[in-house]
Amino acid sequence: MTIREHVPLAPLTTMQVGGPARYLVEAASEDEVRQAVDFAHAKAVPLFVLGGGSNLLVADSGWPGLVLKVAIGGITQQDEDGAVLFDAGAGVDWDQFVARAVASDCAGVECLSGIPGNVGGTPMQNVGAYGQEVSDTVQSVRALDLKANRVVVLPEEACGFRYRTSIFNSTERGRYIILRVTYRLTQDGTPSLKYADLQRHFGATGSPPSLAQVRAAVRQIRQSKGMLIVPGDADSRSAGSFFKNPVLSEAEFHDLARRAESKGFNIPSYPALDAQRKVSAAWLVEHSGFAKGFTLGAAGISRKHALALINTGSASAADIVRLKETIQRGVEQAWGILLEPEPVFVGF
């Protein structure tokens, strides 16, 4: 295990902003993860676990302690009761894992194609897109429990999955370091076509598309919205969707819909948790005076997607935060809703 000092973190993130880490270690095994934790304890410095760098914003001051980049690799698969279990290391590139699953003709994650980051980050945030969430397929999570100082295997029901949430980023934040994830996928399964963009893409074709065709379509749609990491494309220099879609009660939704109708708008929404309604954060942003391509200093909104805040080339973390707060104030003034950020804020 090699400990590096004063390592710039911006190049390790998709947004490409932020200061250095006091220490950084890349751990390729469970033993190295334990050694890194011991090092942080010995130095009495804070520990931050870094995955693919796709869903975070690092402060300009950086991180004063140890950044642990989990690089545990490897994917295995086995048949079990008509399903296929895929066990993947936390450091495996997520899109490469999806490609492996689709190539094996296993359904359940095809609509999550093109999402940047690593396997270890997917249960943390309960990553979801285009009608699928990883919680639909996670069977268990293997993690180092820092509180109990031992490796544990948490079944899906113990992970507390909800919309963009799990125990790993809420009630037990900072307690677990995810080492491996086991996914239960459906062999020869039918691809999911719940999302309107996918339905429009395939239209009224005679036969249903294959998993590979759905994966390719998702990646194409994501790229058209600046949500696929493409070298040289400034619109993809982002942390993905920066704001969560608000989930409202039925009464709150109807109140919002009435106010939107009084302004001549029909607000789009999606059935969500239980009797609640999920409202498009992108719609709220665009109908609060912030169009695609809006800029504030060196930070801006993607020209392709209203939820992607981007580094136009020389933005600082402070620039991104200023834009975030400007949008939040505007949406709250226009609609009475405070948008909740999706990325992890590091070092603030």
How many Å apart are CA 2 and CA 12, to the nearest integer?
17
113 is catalytic: no
| DSSP per-residue string spanning 263-314 | TT----EEE-STT-EEE-HHHHHHTTT--TT-EETTEEE-SS-TTEEEE-SS
Distances (CA, A) of 35 to 28, 40, 45, 120: 11, 9, 14, 19
How many Å apart are CA 307 and CA 335, to the nearest integer?
17
How many Å apart are CA 82 and CA 77, to the nearest integer?
13
Chain position carrying tokens 């919205």: 225
User: Out of 192, 236, 241, 269, which one is annotated catalytic?
Assistant: 241
Burial class (CB in 10 A: 0-12, 13-18, 19+), 79: exposed
User: Out of 30, 110, 142, 164, which one is annotated catalytic?
Assistant: 164
| DSSP per-residue string spanning 51-68 | SSS-SEEE-TT-EEEEEE
325 is catalytic: no
Tell me how far the alpha carbon of residue 72 is from its chain's centroid.
19
User: Out of 110, 133, 156, 342, which one is annotated catalytic?
Assistant: 342
164 is catalytic: yes
Phi, psi of 123 (to 5 degrees): -75, -30
Residues with catalytic function: 164, 241, 342
